[in-house]
Structures are given as C-alpha cells and as structure tokens.
Amino acid sequence: MLARIANTLYWMGRYLERTEHVARYLRVQYFTTQDAPISQSREFVLHSIVNMAGIPWEEQAPLEEAEVLYRASLDPGNPMSIFSTIANARENARGMRNVLSSELWEVINKYYHFVNNYPVEYFKTKGLYDFTIAAGEHCSLIRGYVDSTLTHDEVWALIRLGIHLERTAQIARIISCKLYDIFILTEGKENMPAENYQYTVLLKLLESFDMNRNHYKAPPDREKALEFLILNIDFPRSMAFNLRQVQYFLRKLGIKDKSAHSVGFKVGRMCSQYQYLLFSEIDANVGEFVADALNKVYEIHDALEKDYFHA
C-alpha cells in the first residue's frame, strides 16, 4: 500500500476517535457543576475544558462560557474543535472512497453534516447535551461500520491502529487534566471528598464508572480509578488495553520489532512494562508516569510517520 494512502486511513481513525473524546469531556465536565456535592465554580470547569481541548486563551482574559464551548465544538478556526476534526476525517474518507464501503462513507458523511449544520446559537444556549450525546452516537455507529462492513485487511487495520493510538493519547490527556484539576481544586492538600468526587468524574469522562464498581465491588477512589484506567488489560478504555491493540494492529500490518528505534519495539516495550507493572510502583508519581506515557505515544506516532507514512 502507498504511504500516502496508509497515512490517510490512519489519520481518519485518529480524527474520528478524537471527536468523541472532546464531545464527552465537554458534556461530563460541564454538567458536573450541577451535580457536584462540593463547591465547584463554573470558571473551574471552563478552565478544565480549555486545558483539555487545547483552546488558545489569554491567561488573564475572563472565560466566557458560550465562547469556550463554541471554540471546543463548532469553531472552524480551531483545528482541535469537533467541527475541524470531523471535517478532516470526512476529507480523508472522501479521498479513500475506493477502498471504503459505501455504508461507512455514508455514516461519516452524515456525522459531518450533523456537525456542520448544527445551529450555533442554539448550541450556545441549550444544545450542548443533545449535541455531545449525538456526537458520541455517531462515533459508535462509525466504529461499528468499520468493523462490520470492511474486509479485515490492511485498510481496516490502519483505521483501527489510528483509533487505538488516539484513544491511548486521549486517555492519558484526560487523566493528566483531571490530576491537574484535583491539584488546583485542593490547592495541593489532602481533601478526600473533593478528590473522590473528581475521580468519579474522571471515570465518567472515560465511560468507566460502572465497570470500575463492578471490578472492585466498591465505590471508586484514587487508586481504584487510576489503576483501572492505566493498567487494566481487559477494559477497552484503559491505556494498557489500547496499547495492546496498537501492538496487534502493527503486527497485522506486518510491522515487526526490528530494532530499538523501530515503532514495533517501542510499542512492545510499553506493553511489556504495563503487563507486569503494579500500581504501587507508580502511585507516588502517577502524574509523571502518565505524562511520560503520553510522550511515548507521540514518539510512536513520529516513528510511524517517519518509517511508514513518508516512505
């Protein structure tokens, strides 16, 4: 397969997965201000959204709620917005229509038109919940069509590779953002009610609250939440699970562990580390561990770009 085609399919998967995580973060983080059992200002939530969504904002400038939500979702001028990422995904899919199923193209196109035609003023005043729920449903539908209408060959593997690498990065980014939120909220001091509520929010941000309770048979806390999202090899929204999926799809594409600098080696080394890692070993510096993992994910992407997509 040509490097240009492989790169396009890979990025299509990444863009689609990115839109879902941004949409879910907006919804869950925003509506926590209504459910929080503790004092939690709307400004705190908006700062968290700006941080996670990568929205450029002057440090001392006041945060305007409608503008923050618009920039993260429907702003065509923000390359990280939901609009921009689904537009990029659709453009990539449009260029690959000859290798995609018509059914998959249609659901991607439908998602784009839903976002493109969503009334901005309605969104700013009362459309956030419905918009973000629908965005998540569109993404789930698209992933279903990826798996059920494509031959499980290189095309399918490249899209899934992009999905799982992006999901690994988004999980790490969301964990990092919430750890920062907790530090700001508690001013770096122990505050169990505030912390535990934020770890509940973290689990909901990654659709893992119910499975976490089922796994531990107890209410979530710091250790249960972070261990589950970082090291659980059976949960589809953990870092360990998605790294193993990345390794699987690299092997599906015939990318081997050639040398210490190869992408296969980098992924294999991370998978091996997570397989035998205990949470107690990273408990004291979990923020640094997650930040380092995110940097390694970026290195994996760079290695893919250099060795396989720009050949």
Q: What is the pLDDT of residue 83?
A: 97
Q: What is the pLDDT of residue 35?
A: 65
Task: Report the C-alpha gap between 200 and 226 in whole angstroms.
Answer: 11
Residue type, 47: H
Look-up of token digits 């700001």 = 184
pLDDT in tens, the chain (311 residues): 678 899 999 999 999 999 999 999 999 998 876 666 555 577 888 888 988 888 877 777 788 889 999 999 999 999 999 999 999 999 999 999 999 999 999 999 999 999 999 999 999 999 999 999 999 999 999 999 999 999 999 999 999 999 999 999 999 999 999 999 888 888 767 767 778 888 999 999 999 999 999 999 999 999 999 999 999 999 999 999 999 999 999 999 988 777 777 898 999 999 999 999 999 999 999 999 999 999 999 999 999 988 888 75
Query: What residue spans define the domains of the chain?
Result: 1-150
Which has the closest alpha carbon to 73: 136, 120, 7? 120
Print the SS3 string covering 129-198: HHHHHHHHHHHHHHHHHHHHHCCCCHHHHHHHHHHHHHHHHHHHHHHHHHHHHHHHHHCCCCCHHHHHHH
Q: What string of DSSP letters covers the chain? A: --HHHHHHHHHHHHHHHHHHHHHHHHHHHHHHHHH-SS---HHHHHHHHHHHHT----TTSPPPHHHHHHHHHT-TT-TTSHHHHHHHHHHHHHHTTTTS-HHHHHHHHHHHHHHHTS-HHHIIIIIHHHHHHHHHHHHHHHHHHHHHHS-TTHHHHHHHHHHHHHHHHHHHHHHHHHHHHHHHHHTTS--HHHHHHHHHHHHHHTT-HHHHHHHHSS---HHHHHHHHHH-SS-TTSHHHHHHHHHHHHHHTT----STTSHHHHHHHHHHHHHT--HHHHGGGHHHHHHHHHHHHHHHHHHHIIIII--
Task: Report the C-alpha gap between 95 and 202 in whole angstroms.
Answer: 36
pTM listed for this prediction = 0.93
Q: Between the CA atoms of 53, 54, 60 and 64, what dihedral angle is there, to the nearest 10 degrees?
A: -30
